[in-house]
Amino acid sequence: LEEAAFQLQQIFRIDISIALNILGIESMRAGHCRAAFTCFKLAADRGYSKAQFNVGLCYEHGRGTEKDLEKAGLYYCQAASSRHAMAQYRYARYLLQHGPGSLWDRHHKAVALLEQAAGAGITEAQAYLGVFYMRGLQPQEERGLKYLLQAANSGDAQSRYHVGVCYEQGLGVQQNVAEALRHYRHSAAAGNGQARERLRA
């Protein structure tokens, strides 16, 4: 009976958190940012990762509350620890740009989070890692190209342009101008200005 009561309590907590988060999303869509933030915060403080992510967004962009990057990082961290993939990406970006601690520790943790988010299919994380591995202090071109291709195949026109650059210059792959042109055309068709310029050149 105790176990059953505990299970019911957990379900009840989760259901309330889900309802509060949905109410927050609807309030945000209606332009009631302060009410949305209140709903997200209530659900987040109950441990609901989607709401924790939404609170992070509110703090990062100053929607419904004062802008506070440190608090945004805290809530992204909480959501990321529950394997919320977009929170992993956002927290990694926070660590690289604003996070506490030594640069090496932040860098190491951020890359691990980006790898997890990219593996979960977050296009932004794939694109970020692609450029990161291409332009790092110790470039890993093949690895960078792998992530750029993943992001490009998810529809990211900027990553498709970078893939074209890789083929044109032979970065992480054998040089192939015809393949570079194919990627530039694809990227340009999706509205990428750099790709259009490269095609003209």
* pTM, to two decimals: 0.83
Q: Is 80 exceeded by the pLDDT of residue 162? A: yes
Domain positions in the chain are 1-120, 122-200
Rounded mean pLDDT of 7-27? 78
Angle of helix 33-44 versus helix 49-61 axis, rounded to 10:
140
Please say whether the beta carbons of 43 and 20 come within 8 A. yes
pLDDT of the residue at 10? 62
Per residue in 108-118, pLDDT (tens digit) is: 899 999 999 99
pLDDT at residue number 198? 92
Mean of pLDDT values over 60-76: 96
Overall CATH class of domain 122-200? mainly alpha
What is the rounded average pLDDT of the residues 162-172?
A: 94
Same fold flag, 1-120 and 122-200: yes
Q: Superfamily for 1-120?
A: Tetratricopeptide repeat domain (1.25.40.10)
